[in-house]
Amino acid sequence: MHSNIRQLSFKELPRLLREIPDAPKSMYIRGAMPPEAGEINWKYLCVVGSRACTPYGRRMCAQLIAGLAQYPIVIVSGLALGMDAEAHKAALDVGLPTVAVMPSSVDDQSMYPSANRALAQRILARGGALISEMPGPYKAMLHDFPKRDRIMAAMAHATLIVEAGEKSGTLITARLALDYNREVLGVPHELDKETGKGVNRLLREGATLVRNSDDILLALGFELKVDPLQGVLPTDLTESEFKIVTALNGSMVRDELIEEADISAQEANIALSSLLIRGLIVERLGKIERV
């Protein structure tokens, strides 16, 4: 076993995970999770969705997680291709801790999917964690994915489904979350798109509809701050991006915003594109707003 992998005893597992009937007896971890006994009352949000996620799904995932940036929230996902990876990246982009629950063991050689090893390294470098029930080396098998899903659903206070087709494996996580009496949240999807039929069905059956980050914060029991993003902008904004965000007051048309930010149209267009991709701003009906 890697020297940087340690075994967590049952008592060291997240409190909510210990409560389920089929809780693991122990787990293996690389990195660290926020302490449960500390001064900060961390809330865990499981974020999952389709492996074949669409640009809409990626945009909504980044936008929603960006809106959680000033709150003590840990983003939990499964490091899978698609929406899982997007959720981890979105958390890293805004400085939120993130935990990847693995179907394989957590050593580099066994890691599934191997294509996300670089992302796993980013998670560890930023103070997050990789966890698994399996001692290494262990390659994931088909039956390990539902086992992994139960851990994600159980350790989180709520599960957010961003995008899921009618037969998506993501729906297993949603069902398990309901079984464990956790709240299930869903992002509505276009009605005629196969990629959203699963999540739309969950919403019809009673999952909480998520329109924005505030809906997630309320589901997790937070009191909303007046300006959640004030003072917690990402530290890697370019000068042009910073000028745009600080000049953006309420809802503004593009030309008005460029004039207020006092930068060239070319600089502004590059900055706006970057901010839109990162989910820090949104453009609706020709007007730009902070998320």
Query: In this structure, are 166 and 272 located in the same domain?
Result: no
Query: In this structure, are 184 and 252 located in the same domain?
Result: no
Query: In this structure, are 253 and 205 located in the same domain?
Result: no
In a domain, 225, yes or no: no
Tokens of 104: 């394989």
The number of folded domains in the chain is 2
Q: What is the pLDDT of the chain when averaged over all its residues?
A: 88
In a domain, 283, yes or no: yes
In a domain, 160, yes or no: yes
Question: What pTM, to 2 d.p., does this model score?
Answer: 0.76
Find the DSSP H helices in the chain: 15-18, 55-66, 83-93, 117-125, 144-155, 170-179, 197-204, 213-219, 239-247, 254-261, 265-277
Query: In this structure, are 172 and 264 located in the same domain?
Result: no
Q: How confident is the model at residue 284 (pLDDT cuts 50, 70, 90)?
A: confident
Q: How many CB atoms lie within 10 A of CB 75?
A: 26
Contacts of 191 (CB under 8 A, 6+ apart): 200
| C-alpha count within 13 angstroms, C-beta hemisphere, residue 111 | 23
Domain that holds residue 247: 239-290
The whole-number pLDDT of residue 209 equals 93
pLDDT digits (tens, 9 = 90+) for 114-164: 999 999 999 999 999 999 999 989 999 999 999 999 999 999 999 999 988
Q: Is 127 left (phi over 0), alpha (psi -120 to 50) or beta?
A: left
Query: In this structure, are 123 and 265 located in the same domain?
Result: no
pLDDT digits (tens, 9 = 90+) for 169-224: 788 888 889 889 999 999 998 777 777 788 888 888 888 999 999 999 999 999 88
